[in-house]
Chain A
Amino acid sequence: MEEYKYVGKPVDRLDEKEKVTGAAQYVDDIEFGPNLLYGEIVESPYPHALIKSIDTSEAEKVEGVVKVVTGKDFPYKFGLYMKDRYIFAQDRVRFIGEQVAAVIARDQKTAINAAKLVKVEYEPLTPVFDPIEALKEDAPVIHPELGNYSHVPWYFPKGGTNVAHQMKLRKGNIEKGFKDADFVFEDTYRIPRYAHACLETHIAVAHLDYSGRLTVWSSSQSPYTQRNLFADALAPLGFSHKDIRVITPYVGGGFGGKAGVTMEIIAVALAIAAKGHPVKLRWRRDQEFYNTYMRQQVITKLKVGVKKDGTITGFEMANYWDAGPYAEYGANVVNASGLSATGPYRIPNIKIDSYCIYTNLPAAGPYRGFGYSEMLFSVESHMDRIAKLIGMDSVEFRRRNGIKEGDSVAYGVPMNPSGLLEAIDKTAKEIEWGKKETSSDPNKVIGKGFAIFWKAPAMPPNVSSTAFIKFNEDGSLNIIVSGMEIGQGYLTAMAQIAAEILTVPPEKIRVELPDTDRNPYHWQTVASHVTWANGNAVKRAAIEVRNKIFDIVHQAYHYEKDSLYLEDEKVKCKLHSSFELPFKDFVIGGIQTEDGTYRGGAIVGSGSFMPEFTSAVQDPETGQGGHPNVHYTVGAGAVKIEIDKQTGKVRILKAVEALDAGKAINPMNVKHQIYGGLLQGFATALYEDMRFDENGKILNPNFTDYKIPTSLDIPDEFVPIIVEVPQPDGPFGARGIAEHTMIPAAPIIANAVEDALGIRIKSMPITAEKIAMAILNGKKEVDEFLMIMKK
């Protein structure tokens, strides 16, 4: 493999000094002066009701209240893939906590007090919380107008029902698949909702100035997508894209929760209502739980046929996703995971149905892994059980059936180059697979669990990414891009890519955070695709800069361009070994020639990248015919756990994860993603546990009752492994890895619990309580699912 100077090295993070000193600025840290106003939301107390009347008169009388707005002021729908959301509820509310009106006031306390004076009269309707109940013919219809909503061509909503989207995938002949099998094994798995739980809550400050310019500062993964959705939703008010400016400083955690648009459009509406004032809307921690997006609940029915020798012959799956009342983004989670729901297996006969179903729980949407964490819990639990059923070692079963380069995936496209087998073998070796271990404590048992995974970036086929590079007088660089640094190390990776081409060390490069007025287009920072897509754009921009350097040197010195090369921030020539020209001597002011005139001028470069082989044109009945994904990143993970049989408490003694980064642009940051992502996944597997009451009201919207991991919850030993089978169209062979680190966590734990105790837990989370009760009651299988508490 080619040796690089900056790519593949553990280069220090560009943003770290700002972060360790407290200098890093987040939206709430920006000063907006004494003209700043504050918004407060009037929320629905009902999960499903008609709004009969809204009386804002008492609230308007409060001193310090500037304005009170309701749905009547903003009768506009918005949405990324389907316009099914409203800036404020119109005639109907669809979940507890939905925004019905808002008070704009001089200070937050006044806004809070005045919001309590807004009187809303409701006519309660029957709600539905269970996605399977919501499919029944007599279920209340949550969106009576669904048939009229506009949406992308690959959504198939069913008007008059609660089905926001149904995704079908058919390959081979499923009947034959089960006829060819020696064993057919079937079961149901349940995965509840989860919260992103970013430390920074959602926040947006919007300002419509008197000239008609709209500026929005938001904590977001998606500055350009936000601008586009604002312009689209507010088109009746005459906004052009150029009149809207979205600025995104550092973001205090994203994990998909700050993708697209959720509450930011409310801040925009408030700014329009209070023209001339910046208006701040910052979610409190409880609002962060119920009025952004959660991860969706899913119930999966899975049936797999297998031969005695371990060959998988048929795979039939039905996924019932609970999207809450707004599926504009969530239906694409359903779609994307549905396309890839076999997991990384080679299977000839496939039937997958994925239903995205409206319910009256809070809205659900993208969360790190985009449906794959959920799908893998079912698939990788099931595969483990099948291996056991036919008496085959489960790692051997995965080696045998694991997908290889060139194998056809479920929608008929050949699999990209992949290090799956290498990841399996390295993980198995590191966890000492096959070596049985016992605890010295008779109350404790030890088990090992294993799982494999894959994930493709889930995005439209034509998402675009661009980059600008400019030189400064001293030869340092600014890279101007619109990907978002959400903690993953994006800025550093972009600097390393440019550094490699231009020989400018990363510490002499700044990568600028997005501002849609100045930074060029990038769709949004989701899908773990920025290293690949924006990395390609940065690389192209750097190559353009290099070509311009060669052009200028050629003009001034008449050296053949082919003989020129860059080294240590200088231009050199293969044919004239004494020639070397430092960048700082010419990248702004050009090169002086013998007659005293100059050649060149300030050097800038631009690059653009969009995949040109992808297509979402597919047969809606079979899912065949398109090329919906650019590539898959694969890997394997394993744990060794110790379970206290009296309390059911699980301690992770060792965690291993290997993933194929193609080329790890920054191996340190890849390892750091594995530590963080896998722990986030273990928490969903073991104890994060979102609960609702019988009216669909979340019971634990805070960190006291919704437990995210602390430093005491990390594995005793953590082994990250990087595999590198290059991605041919990736920058230096790189592909994305960040979401992937989380997605195998749940089945690894489930499989380890069965290994330790012989108990199969088929519903997440696998709490200490579930384990202890199963031991106490002698149960071998656990279906118990506690997301909605009955009275």
Chain B
Amino acid sequence: MKKISFTLNGEKRSIDVESNDLLLEVLREKFGLKGPKVACERGDCGACSVLLNGKSVRTCLILAAEVDGQDVVTIEGLSKDTLTPLQESFLKHNSFQCGFCAPGMTITATELLNKNPNPTEEEVKEAISGNLCRCTGYTPIIEAILDVKKK
């Protein structure tokens, strides 16, 4: 067991973890944050994405011990007070169907818009190409992300 301390959704948190505990397991099972989803467990699909120091990462590929002293934001952290403009846009475009990819997709698109507030359609497609969605054909997701920059 190792004690780690880090910022989780804006709040200082400490917890004991095993050296082989995955960040995904710790977020879901120990902190009860169920936004990041268990889906492929090998970094293929992006459903477990969170922001680590502002960059989207796959929590199924990261050990919890690695985030000691760092800053982690999950979908719950984004949704805290009011919806972000991106979430408002997803809502307006009815972007998601089954919704299982939505938390990871939202994290990845948030990173994109933070880095590049005016992405082209190609840049949007490229940015979310590691986040798999089986339902939507991506079109309503891409349209929503592009629509954020217009405002």
Contact = CB atoms under 8 A, between A and B. Distances in A.
Contact of B94 (A13, A198, A708): A13
Nearest to A199: B100
B137 A714 contact: yes
A489 interface: yes
A718 B44 contact: no
Interface in B96-143: 96-103, 106, 124-126, 128-142
A340 B35 CA distance: 43
Nearest to B100: A252
A365 to B, nearest CB: 18
A253 B135 contact: yes
B99 A12 contact: no
Contacts of B138: 675, 679, 709-711, 714
> Taking chain A's interface residues, is the majority helix, strand, or loop, or is none over half, making it mixed?
loop
A718 B106 CA distance: 23
B65 to A, nearest CB: 17
B91 A704 contact: no
A269 interface: no
A201 B99 contact: no
B41 interface: yes
Given A282-B38, A704-B44, A16 B90 contact: yes
A518 interface: no
A20 B138 CA distance: 15
**Interface size range of chain A in the complex:** 35 or more
B87 interface: yes
A250 B101 CA distance: 13
A491 to B, nearest CB: 12
> Taking chain B's interface residues, is the majority helix, strand, or loop, or is none over half, making it mixed?
loop
Interface residues of B, number: 50
A714 B133 CA distance: 12
Given A12-B91, A15-B99, A718 B134 contact: no
Given A20-B87, A22-B102, A672-B97, A711 B44 contact: no
A13 B91 CA distance: 8
Interface string A25-44: 11011010000000000000
Contacts of B133: 199
B102 A20 contact: yes
A703 B90 CA distance: 25
Given A20-B91, A20-B95, A710-B132, A675 B137 contact: yes
A418 B87 CA distance: 39
A775 B39 CA distance: 39
Nearest to A492: B94
A603 to B, nearest CB: 31
Given A22-B79, A675-B139, A199 B97 contact: no
Given A199-B39, A199-B100, A29 B94 contact: no
B63 to A, nearest CB: 15
Interface string B35-79: 101111110110100000000000000000000000000111001
B94 A710 contact: no
Nearest to B47: A199
Given A21-B83, A679-B137, A711-B128, A284 B95 contact: no
Contact of A20 (B90, B97, B130): B90
A676 interface: yes
A251 interface: yes
A25 B99 contact: no
B91 to A, nearest CB: 5
B99 A676 contact: no
Contacts of B135: 253, 487, 676
Contacts of A674: 137
B10 interface: no
A677 to B, nearest CB: 8
B32 A250 contact: no
Contact of B97 (A487, A702, A709): A487
Contacts of A708: 132, 134
A18 interface: yes
A253 B97 CA distance: 8
B39 A200 contact: yes
Contacts of A23: 79
A599 interface: no
A718 B139 contact: yes
A680 B134 contact: yes
A285 B42 contact: yes
Contacts of A252: 37, 39, 98-100
Given A20-B91, A22-B102, A199-B37, A488 B97 contact: yes
Contacts of A152: none
B134 A198 contact: yes
Nearest to A683: B134
Contacts of A679: 137-138
A20 B96 contact: yes
Contacts of A199: 37, 39, 45, 47, 98, 100-101, 132-134
A669 B103 CA distance: 21
A712 interface: yes
A538 B74 CA distance: 38
Contacts of A711: 124-126, 128-129, 131, 138, 141-142
Contact of A704 (B37, B42, B90, B102): B42
Contacts of B131: 711
Contacts of B74: 22
A131 B137 CA distance: 33
A201 B134 CA distance: 12
Contacts of B124: 711
A674 B137 CA distance: 8
A614 B140 CA distance: 38
B99 A250 contact: yes
B32 A676 contact: no
A714 B39 contact: no
Contact of B140 (A12, A251, A672): A672
A677 B134 CA distance: 9
A699 interface: no
A525 to B, nearest CB: 12
A700 B75 CA distance: 31
Contact of A28 (B38, B40, B98, B103): B38
Nearest to A18: B99
A253 B75 contact: no
B96 to A, nearest CB: 5
A676 B137 contact: yes
B144 to A, nearest CB: 9
Contacts of B128: 711
A488 B102 CA distance: 15
B103 to A, nearest CB: 4
B98 A486 contact: yes
Nearest to A282: B38
B2 to A, nearest CB: 18
A487 B98 contact: yes
Contacts of B136: 672, 675-676
A253 B75 CA distance: 20
A773 interface: no
Contacts of A709: 138
Interface in A440-499: 486-489
Contacts of B125: 711-712, 714
B139 A21 contact: no
Interface string A710-745: 111010001000000000000000000000000000
A285 B41 contact: yes
Contacts of A28: 34, 37-38
A88 interface: no
A399 B91 CA distance: 41
11 contacts: A13-B94, A19-B99, A20-B102, A21-B83, A196-B134, A253-B135, A284-B41, A680-B137, A703-B44, A704-B44, A711-B138
Given A196-B134, A675-B138, 12 more contacts: A19-B102, A20-B83, A22-B103, A24-B99, A198-B100, A199-B132, A200-B37, A200-B98, A487-B97, A702-B44, A710-B132, A710-B138
In the A-B complex, the 9 residue pairs with the closest CB atoms: A252-B100, A487-B97, A19-B99, A675-B137, A487-B98, A22-B75, A22-B35, A703-B44, A29-B34
